[in-house]
Amino acid sequence: MYHPWSFTYLDNGYNRIGSKNIGGYHMNILLAVLIPIIGALILSFTKKLKGYISILVSILSFFAVLSVYPEISNGQSIEFCIKMFFDMHIFVDKLNFIILSFVSFLNILIVTYSIKYIKKDHLRYYPLLLLTMGFTLGSFLSGDLLTFYIFFEMTTLFSFFLVMYKGTGKARRAGFMYLIMCFMGGALILISLGSVYIQKGNFEICNLNNSASFLFILGCLIKAGAFPLHFWLPEAHPIAPSPVSALLSGIMIKIGIYGIIRFFMTHESIYWVVIIAVSSMLFGVMMALIQSDIKRILAYSSISQIGYMLLGISISSLGIAGGLFHMINHAVFKSLLFLCMGAVIYSTGERKIQKLGGLYKKMPYTMITCIIASFAISGIPLFNGFVSKTIIFDSLSDTFLKIAFILTGAGTIALFCKLNKYVFFGKLPDNLKSTKEAPKLMLFSMIALAVICIFIGVFPNIIFKNLYAGVFSFWSLSHLLEASVSVILGIFIFVLGKKAGLFDIKEYNIDKIYSKFADFISLFCKSVNKIVSKDLNVYILCILLFLIILFFI
């Protein structure tokens, strides 16, 4: 079987590696998927200790993934076929082993967090959660198009019930929107499979033609929530329970990105994907800036971060490595952000930023972990988001793409300045004076993710050396300068946006947005006019300095 991106770390770069019959490893990697599914069936017959049994199940699944490391670390791949009513192809190499390891570990933390967060209807929640986790792992193990499609649809089905978990009218509406859009993405993938099968008589990856590839990528982009196919994401992710939001945004939207990389991506730039990537980056961050619901803020920021991944994987081989790295990093810091905001909702019962504030004394651990996650997603040096964003930025050669990248980075910094300022600082509302810190089990998951954000940021090569064979300098002057420009510009945007009242919109209304945006532009121009002298020489000097900065970046 041909796999375009079966990675191994060799001195001469990437190398395609074939399958090998490895006895017991077949069952070990299958158990990673089967254990959560079997665990879900067992939970259907018990009413007690569902949460703790789910933790045990997710831990066993994690160790089943780790058990194949000795073979994978030697540069080998594991590939086999299970004969059922269809041929289920399973494939593991360094690429998806890293992803599987992170996903299965995140599953443990999400289940642990759920024990205190989920207060009712355990009978339904934990079986659905384990089934979703099991089929998600299966998606990342898929060795051919048909297997990927089946796992893709199964994750959609069971996560649909998790989105509707609350049972309210809004939850049902969001759930059905999620189901329809993801099934639509699945239908496009199915049509592409049909095209391949009619022409070639099998579902091998190498048989994707141009039209089939287009449909396949489009289906994956719907699952990923990329602009303009995004509108289900800010409806479904915020309405779900926070641990489910972490699963959806941190892990499941990556299935689409992984599908593109595994089954289609080449070294050549795909320009229409680049356009979608940049549009997602800018649209996502702009929409996030004007939201007042803390979970909608995070949902829209996920659209922006998906843009980073798409930009990387559609540019070059270095960009693909950066996109993969950012996919892993985003799973960590976005899961942490949703868990932090879940802790805020759990302790306060509020999710509107106008009704929050001053929680730094009441919830210090939540605040610290949220700030760490904010630094990570903003690309601050020594945090994991910086290293993957730096790789993607370094792969860009087009000036427009670099400017869009910097502007999105600045918008992200402004966004999380806003989130932390309104939630944790300022005046504590009277009705929140009795607020308490989140329970210890919830804090455990949050602190563990925060530690990972820092650890990968300080030691990025532990992951990167498995994704790219070349040498990369993360701490060069140009990379630190680019990060500094984004930070300064981001803080500037936040200060001006706050003065212009851009962040005070209480309801989504397009007229209000245009009005506030016009005020923001007016204030920006006045501020620049005050700072910069009217002297022509000063204007020329400013232009030269800006060009010098762009040159070094």
Q: pLDDT band for 8, please (50, 70, 90 cuts).
A: very low
The answer to whether residue 124 scores a pLDDT higher than 70 is: yes
> In this predicted model, what pLDDT tens digit does every residue of 405-436 receive, in sequence order?
999 999 999 999 999 999 999 888 888 888 89
Which pLDDT score is estimated for 332?
95
User: Within its chain, how far is the Cα of 75 from the centroid?
Assistant: 27
* Residue with token string 């106008």: 354
Q: For the chain, which residues make up each domain, given as ranges?
A: 273-294+308-508, 515-552
Amino acid in position 143: G
Mean pLDDT, range 230-258, rounded to an integer: 88
The answer to whether residue 222 scores a pLDDT higher than 60 is: yes
Phi-psi region of 501 (alpha: psi -120 to 50; beta: other; left: phi over 0): left
Token pair recorded at residue 522 = 């007016």
Q: Strand, helix or coil at 439? A: coil
Mean pLDDT, range 220-235, rounded to an integer: 86
The answer to whether residue 2 scores a pLDDT higher than 60 is: no
Q: Strand, helix or coil at 99? A: helix
> In this predicted model, what pLDDT tens digit does every residue of 30-41 receive, in sequence order?
899 999 999 999
Separation of alpha carbons 205 and 381, rounded Å:
38
Contact 147, 88 (CB under 8 A): yes
Mean pLDDT, range 39-68, rounded to an integer: 89
Gyration radius of the chain over CA positions: 23
Separation of alpha carbons 323 and 506, rounded Å:
35
In 3-state terms, the chain is what percent helix, strand and coil (to 5)?
A: 70, 5, 25
Contact 89, 142 (CB under 8 A): yes
Q: Strand, helix or coil at 142? A: strand
Mean pLDDT, range 528-536, rounded to an integer: 55
The answer to whether residue 529 scores a pLDDT higher than 90 is: no
Which pLDDT score is estimated for 500?
73
> What percentage of residues in the chain have a pLDDT greater than 90?
37
Single pTM value for the model? 0.84
Separation of alpha carbons 535 and 518, rounded Å:
27
Token pair recorded at residue 429 = 């509302």
Amino acid in position 264: F
Which pLDDT score is estimated for 19?
42
Contact 2, 19 (CB under 8 A): no
- Among 175-184, 236-245, 250-259, 529-538, the range scoring the smallest mean pLDDT is 529-538
For residue 88, report the phi and psi dihedrals to the nearest 5 degrees. Answer: -90, 110
Using the CB atoms, write b or e for 460-480: b if 16+ within 10 Å: beebbebbbbeebebeeeebe
Q: pLDDT band for 369, please (50, 70, 90 cuts).
A: very high
The answer to whether residue 551 scores a pLDDT higher than 50 is: no
> In this predicted model, what pLDDT tens digit does every residue of 267-309 receive, in sequence order?
455 778 899 999 999 999 999 998 889 999 999 999 999 999 9
Greater confidence (553 vs 177) lies with 177
Residue 21 makes CB contacts below 8 A (sequence gap 6+) with 80
The answer to whether residue 100 scores a pLDDT higher than 90 is: yes
Helices (H) and strands (E) counted in the chain, each on its own, are 22, 2
Q: pLDDT band for 93, please (50, 70, 90 cuts).
A: confident
Question: Cα angle at 259 between 397 and 337, to 5 degrees?
Answer: 75
Beta bridge partners of 78: 92
* Average pLDDT of the residues of the chain: 82
Residue 214 makes CB contacts below 8 A (sequence gap 6+) with none
Amino acid in position 309: M
Separation of alpha carbons 191 and 299, rounded Å:
29
Contact 196, 230 (CB under 8 A): no
3-state secondary structure 242-282: HHHHHHHHHHHCHHHHHHHHHHCCCCCCCHHHHHHHHHHHH
